[in-house]
């Protein structure tokens, strides 16, 4: 039974040896799947490579297209350059043209426009290139593509990891397979050993059984044998037991090996499961990869289409632009063709002009030479003409001076003007302040005075009515003033009773200056206008004669009495030692001088108004000139004299100083009359020394000097008596010069102020101007009798007391 059992066990033991070979197919399967996976991966990689190649090919294609476009652009550029060169050549040829210049400008503008278009084309090309280099920088497909790429790489990473795990498992399976093979080998050996042992044991058993059977046939012996057999069988039994226990051990070993195999089978199963899972995962990944790949392909397709579309668009646009450029070019070419004839003529003109320009310097030099010679000749002629003219001019100048002197001699160098001031507030109101002076509308030299109910008419050289302005008065005077520049001595006297307007005429007001300031201003402007040929110096002195004492108004000590002396050089000229002379150059200087004189005069008296009416104020302007070309020197003096009031104070019974003043005034005014009379009547002796005034003005009253007596009158009724006196004085001064007879009247003397009035009824009796031009003979006779009367009375000059 045991053997059977053992045999049965052995049989089963043989059967169990079959599953030992089972793990190999599993590993093979795993290996096969892995190989498949590997193949799949390789295929995918190949596909990827193919796609990349395609992409590269497409990129190359695009690059070649862009290169082609670039080539086109380059050829266009070259054409443009050619055109520009052509244009610049044309421009250089056409330089100087007028119509062609316009065409040239047009071409230049066209060229500029084409260049701009070219630039735009280039810009587009650049954009296209950038698109190719970095397609759809911000587009969604790109982002998706990038995501997919990332996913792909992630999947690849995962596949790599799985592959690594698979390799690990492979290694493990290999180790386990090796161990299994070892175990199987060991199992095989032990099985073979057991089979041998069993064989040996069964053989011994069979031998023993045969022995027993033979022994049984030999009873004694058999018994013994049995016993021996028994003894021997005990040994056999022991051996059997041993072999059984060994068998037991081996079976345990087999059981254990089976257990190990089972475990290994389980492990294999689990690894197969893992491999299946991995395969499923790989399948999934592959599907995903496939999908992503498809998506990527689609996107790439779309992008490709988009790119193609953009390229086509750009290309068509470029073509259109190219067409336009071509058309423009054609236009430019036709323009150029039309320009060519003009260009030819222009070139011809240009060449001829060039020839002319080449010849021009020679021509110019020749012309310049001849012109220089002509100009030199002309200058020489002009010089000689100028010299001749200068000579003639000097002769004419001398002639003119002679003529002028003659004219002055004929007309008389004493002129008498009358000026009537307006009625002022000071004249008061009522009948006394009424106007007693009227004028002749047709003759500005005549005025009529209503005196004691009778109208007396006077004719002077000119009469200024009350409305005459300072300027109008000066206009009549300015010829005299300017003659001072030519070297003449001039005296302008303002004569008249106090309040008649002497100071107003001579000095005027600040706003409306009189003769003094205007004369200086005129002298300045005249001197300026002659500055090219003449050097002039204008200087000013101011003096006052009061009670026959001469005082310097610009001096440091105005109270000092000055003397008039003869020049020690024997020239017979007079001079006043110590009289201050200021050089003046501007109106400001004049104003300063006047102010200084005024202050000096005012500080020396208690009542300036009264004082000034009792004294003569003199402004002496000296103009010294030098003709730079001839060296001729001239000196002219302009004496502007504001005389003391001519009113007769003696009648009112003045005494003391007032009487002395009146006497002095009377004396000096009479002396002035005498001198003027003597001068006009060409007397051999002119009594200059009879008063300080005439003595001082001797130079300016004698010779070819000019004198103007401005007789100031008040038009007021209350002043008619004094007005009459003044006008008579004026008329007599004037009458002296009128007739040639006056030259003969050698003995005639000037009437005193008093006698001027005494004569009036007689003259007033005969109306009109006829009476005023009383015959010089009558006048001289009357004056002579007065003079005789004065001389007999033993007085040097009559005093109206």
Residue 562 parent element (H or E):
strand 561-562
Q: Which stretch binds ligand ADP (CB under 6 A): 239-247, 499-507, 651-659, 677-685?
A: 499-507
Binding flag, residue 580, Mg ion (CB under 5 A):
no
Among 315, 458, 488, 504, binds ligand ADP (CB under 6 A): 504
Q: Which is nearer to ligand ADP, 496 or 751 (CB)?
A: 496
Q: Which is nearer to ligand ADP, 225 or 713 (CB)?
A: 713
Which partner from the list ligand ADP, Mg ion, none does 634 bind, CB cut-off 5 to 8 Å by kind?
Answer: none
Binding flag, residue 554, ligand ADP (CB under 6 A):
no
Binding flag, residue 493, ligand ADP (CB under 6 A):
no
Among 83, 111, 457, 503, binds ligand ADP (CB under 6 A): 503
Phi, psi of 797, deg, nearest 5: -140, 140
CA distance 560 to 549: 9
Binding flag, residue 498, ligand ADP (CB under 6 A):
yes
Name residues contacting ligand ADP, limited to 209-228 (CB under 6 A): none
- Give the distance, in angstroms, between the CA of residue 506 and the centroid of all CA atoms in the same chain: 55
Q: How far is CA 186 from CA 180, 189, 254, 317, 371, in A?
A: 10, 5, 10, 87, 144
Closest distance of CB 468 from ligand ADP, Å: 7
What's the count of helices (H) and strands (E) in the chain, helices before strands?
17, 15
CA distance 522 to 528: 10
Binding flag, residue 500, ligand ADP (CB under 6 A):
yes
- Nearest alpha carbon to residue 463 among 503, 417, 509, 423: 417
Closest distance of CB 604 from ligand ADP, Å: 18
Closest distance of CB 596 from Mg ion, Å: 19
Phi, psi of 438, deg, nearest 5: -125, 165
Q: Which is nearer to Mg ion, 503 or 517 (CB)?
A: 503
Q: Which is nearer to ligand ADP, 180 or 724 (CB)?
A: 724
Q: Which is nearer to ligand ADP, 307 or 616 (CB)?
A: 616
Sheet strand arrangement including 446-451: 437-439, 446-451, 454-459
3-state SS, residue 415? strand
Binding flag, residue 667, ligand ADP (CB under 6 A):
no
Q: Which is nearer to ligand ADP, 645 or 800 (CB)?
A: 645
Q: Which is nearer to Mg ion, 609 or 766 (CB)?
A: 609
Residues with Cβ within 8 Å of 173's Cβ and at least 6 positions away in sequence, in order, are 27, 30, 268, 271
Binding flag, residue 783, Mg ion (CB under 5 A):
no
CA distance 153 to 192: 56
Among 111, 247, 470, 503, binds Mg ion (CB under 5 A): 503
Q: Which is nearer to Mg ion, 121 or 542 (CB)?
A: 542
Binding flag, residue 714, Mg ion (CB under 5 A):
no
Phi, psi of 746, deg, nearest 5: -75, -25
Q: Are 73 and 121 in contact (CB under 8 A)?
A: yes
Q: Which is nearer to ligand ADP, 501 or 673 (CB)?
A: 501
Q: Are 524 and 605 in contact (CB under 8 A)?
A: no
Q: x-or-dash pattern for ligand ADP, window 285-324, by CB under 6 A?
A: ----------------------------------------
Name residues contacting ligand ADP, limited to 394-453 (CB under 6 A): 421-422, 424
Question: Beta partners for 545?
Answer: 550, 616
Residues with Cβ within 8 Å of 399's Cβ and at least 6 positions away in sequence, in order, are none
CA distance 175 to 167: 12
Per rule CB under 6 A, count of chain residues that contact ligand ADP = 13
Name residues contacting ligand ADP, limited to 597-626 (CB under 6 A): 613
Q: What is the CA radius of gyration of the chain?
A: 78
DSSP 536-558: EEEEEEEEEEETTEEEETTSS-T
Q: Are 310 and 132 in contact (CB under 8 A)?
A: no
Which partner from the list Mg ion, ligand ADP, none does 257 bind, CB cut-off 5 to 8 Å by kind?
Answer: none
Q: Which is nearer to ligand ADP, 493 or 695 (CB)?
A: 493
Q: Which is nearer to Mg ion, 503 or 622 (CB)?
A: 503
Q: x-or-dash pattern for ligand ADP, window 351-390, by CB under 6 A?
A: ----------------------------------------
Per DSSP, 559 falls in state T
Site residues (vs Mg ion, CB under 5 A)? 502-503
Site residues (vs ligand ADP, CB under 6 A)? 421-422, 424, 496, 498-504, 613, 712
């Amino acid at each position: 039974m045991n053997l059977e059992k053992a045999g049965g066990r052995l049989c089963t033991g043989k059967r169990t040896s079959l599953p030992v070979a089972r793990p190999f197919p599993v590993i093979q399967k795993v290996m096969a799947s892995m190989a498949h996976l590997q193949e799949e991966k390789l295929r995918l990689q190949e596909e990827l490579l193919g796609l990349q190649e395609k992409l590269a090919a497409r990129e190359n294609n695009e690059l070649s297209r862009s290169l082609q476009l670039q080539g086109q652009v380059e050829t266009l550029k070259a054409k443009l350059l050619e055109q520009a060169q052509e244009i610049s050549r044309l421009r250089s040829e056409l330089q100087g043209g007028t119509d062609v210049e316009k065409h040239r400008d047009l071409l230049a503008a066209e060229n500029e426009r084409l260049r701009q278009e070219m630039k735009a084309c280039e810009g587009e090309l650049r954009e296209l290139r950038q698109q190719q280099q970095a397609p759809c920088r911000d587009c969604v497909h790109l982002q998706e593509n990038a995501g997919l790429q990332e996913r792909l790489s992630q999947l690849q990473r995962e596949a790599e990891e799985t592959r690594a795990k698979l390799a690990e498992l492979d290694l493990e399976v290999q180790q386990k397979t090796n161990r299994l093979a070892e175990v199987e080998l060991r199992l095989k050996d032990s099985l073979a050993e057991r089979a041998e042992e069993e064989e040996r044991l069964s053989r011994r058993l069979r031998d023993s059984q045969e022995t027993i059977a033979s022994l049984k046939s030999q009873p004694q012996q058999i018994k013994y044998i049995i016993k021996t057999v028994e003894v021997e069988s005990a040994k056999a039994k022991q051996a059997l037991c041993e072999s059984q226990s060994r068998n037991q051990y081996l079976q345990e070993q087999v059981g254990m090996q089976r257990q190990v195999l089972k475990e290994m089978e389980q492990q294999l199963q689990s690894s197969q499961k893992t491999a299946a899972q991995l395969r499923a995962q790989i399948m999934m990944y592959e599907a995903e990869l496939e999908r992503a790949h498809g998506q990527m392909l689609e996107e790439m397709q779309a992008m490709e289409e988009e790119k193609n579309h953009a390229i086509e668009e750009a290309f068509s646009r470029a073509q259109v632009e190219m067409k336009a450029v071509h058309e423009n070019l054609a236009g430019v070419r036709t323009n150029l063709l039309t320009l060519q004839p003009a260009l030819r003529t222009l070139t011809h003109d240009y060449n001829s002009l060039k020839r002319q320009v080449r010849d021009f310097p020679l021509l110019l030099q020749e012309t310049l030479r001849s012109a220089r010679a002509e100009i030199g000749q002309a200058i020489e002629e002009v010089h000689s003409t100028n010299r001749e003219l200068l000579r003639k001019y000097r002769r004419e100048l001398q002639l003119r001076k002679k003529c002028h002197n003659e004219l002055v001699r004929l007309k008389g160098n004493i002129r008498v003007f009358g000026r009537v001031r307006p009625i002022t507030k000071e004249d008061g109101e009522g009948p006394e302040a009424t106007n007693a002076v009227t004028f002749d509308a047709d003759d500005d030299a005549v005025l009529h005075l209503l005196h004691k109910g009778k109208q007396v008419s006077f004719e002077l050289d000119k009469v200024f009515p009350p409305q005459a302005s300072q300027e109008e008065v000066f206009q009549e005077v300015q010829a005299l003033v300017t003659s001072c520049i030519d070297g003449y001595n001039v005296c302008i006297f303002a004569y008249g009773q106090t309040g008649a307007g002497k100071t107003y005429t001579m000095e005027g007001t600040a706003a409306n200056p009189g003769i003094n300031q205007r004369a200086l201003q005129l002298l300045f402007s005249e001197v300026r206008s002659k500055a090219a040929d003449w050097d002039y110096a204008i200087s000013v002195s101011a003096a006052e004669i009061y009670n026959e004492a001469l005082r310097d108004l610009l001096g440091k000590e105005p109270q000092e009495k000055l003397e008039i002396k003869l020049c020690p050089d024997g020239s017979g000229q007079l001079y006043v030692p110590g009289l201050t002379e200021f050089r003046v150059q501007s109106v400001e200087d004049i104003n300063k001088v006047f102010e200084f004189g005024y202050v000096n005069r005012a500080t020396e008296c208690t009542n300036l108004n009264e004082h000034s009416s009792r004294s003569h104020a003199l402004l002496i302007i000296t103009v010294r000139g030098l003709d730079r070309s001839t060296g001729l020197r001239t000196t002219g003096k302009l004496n502007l004299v504001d005389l003391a009031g001519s009113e007769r104070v003696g009648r009112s019974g003045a005494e003391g100083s007032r009487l002395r003043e009146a006497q002095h005034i009377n004396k000096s005014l009479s002396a002035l009359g005498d001198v003027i009379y003597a001068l006009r009547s060409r007397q051999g002796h002119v009594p200059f020394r009879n008063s300080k005034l005439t003595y001082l003005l001797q130079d300016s009253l004698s010779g070819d000097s000019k004198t103007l007596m401005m007789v100031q009158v008040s038009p007021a009724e209350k002043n008619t008596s004094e007005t009459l006196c003044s006008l008579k004085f004026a008329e007599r001064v004037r009458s002296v010069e009128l007739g040639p007879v006056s030259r003969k009247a050698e003995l005639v003397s000037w009437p005193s102020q008093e006698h001027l009035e005494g004569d009036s009824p007689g003259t007033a009796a005969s109306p009109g101007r006829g009476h005023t031009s009383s015959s010089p003979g009558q006048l001289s006779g009357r004056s002579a009798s007065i003079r005789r009367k004065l001389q007999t009375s033993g007085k040097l000059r009559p005093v109206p007391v």
